[in-house]
Structure 1
């Protein structure tokens, strides 16, 4: 039987009026709460009743009855501090169970991969998630929690241990609890593998992006080079057209084949000296044109500087010789 002091506290809290009045309004509800609380305290004497303000996740505030203390789970593991809040719609709404005492952070901390307890201490076992009145009650809930914690302690990182009973002797509820725990750990393992695979795929994607950037740079460089070569080919084609047109006009063989008079036939020297002078004047102009063409070739990079200097030097000597002949002819004519 529950201690007399606990019975008196529960009865006083349930039928209290004024600022400390609890959020339970239905008299039948209060009798159900009294019965379940007394049954719970009879099986778990380490739990004590209390009343306090509870703030729900949506911000609503309620004055609720709770039971707090420690429960024994096994001889080889420490006791688990527990706080059980009775929802304002209890027994039709499941209790709110926390690992830890009111205002006290559990120590050591709850391991993060526990299948039924989150890091804040909120407990969500299959019994709580499938709560249904009158099939479910506080006493059976805590017995179920103690059984689960004996298999998978909230302060231990080891997964659920093997059952001590034969599977045929286990109840349907125990089998479902163990199945839920094993599914949780299997899900965590698959999630870990998936995270590792995602990291590998992300690394591969980054490497592919880097290679795509390199290949894109190479393709853009080749495209620029292609445009430059196309422009250069166009310029060379234009120059070739100019050269072909010039050859059509000035080629002596073509002029003879077409019957046109050559430029040399327009002017005739009176004697051998005059003919030699006209030849030197023509050679001088040809050399001048050749030097100009070499300048253009150097500017475009077709002829290197060394070859340019060598050719210009030879042409300059030849041009000097032709100009000397012309100067001597003009001097003799003046005398």
Structure 2
């Protein structure tokens, strides 16, 4: 901070709570052994806890530690929360002259401040003068100077001060260790939060794809139901009298060769079924061997003629198709 155009460093401790950054941190002024908290400070209580507008109006994410420190620097620059502890011991200095010059006043330096003492020989009170720095007059040493005051600390006080310093260092070490542990925990939590965010996006994308597939399947189902309804209505309208129609008359061959081929193949397949039935009867000893051989010979001969006829008809159809294609090619050219 800057106080009267002079830069000062104020030791401050910031405690980050578990709810940080949504809740403002706790700020304490941490005076050293040579500093004292300013009594009745408007923003710092006796324990060193800081209370300012920046802390009271902390709003996440607009508020942050950098702006908080800047605001505290400006706030403490108006009225410092700490001041130097007055020195108890008196430094060794030259003894004052026993008889100062009567027309002047002798300055006495105590801790850097200058105080004016009025001479006893001058009658009447003299006007008070503000402290000012001045050089002492040459001493008039007519008598031996008094012995200098030597500071002697109490052993109990020294022991108490050492114990307090050791305890303070231990507490600071524990606080630093706890802060490092909490920092590591926060880093782990942030990484877990980032991983959960990525998985959440993946789940959202998968759910979006499933919803799209569901919509497409519903559209196909609706189209299938519509076509089924159309076919059912057509069957209801055109299914009259179909039971009295011969199934062989429904499908008609395209030409004479196709009709002969259909008859030959039908006979061939029918004979194949009869041979299978006779063979099954011979295995079951239902058909005698002599009857079995006789029927097989007759049916095999008949089946041979049907197969030969069918093969010849196929050759004739292929030749007809080739001639038809040649005639079309000549017509196009």
Fold agreement, TM-score > 0.5: no
TM-score (norm 1): 0.31
TM-score (norm 2): 0.31
Bigger radius of gyration, 1 or 2?
2
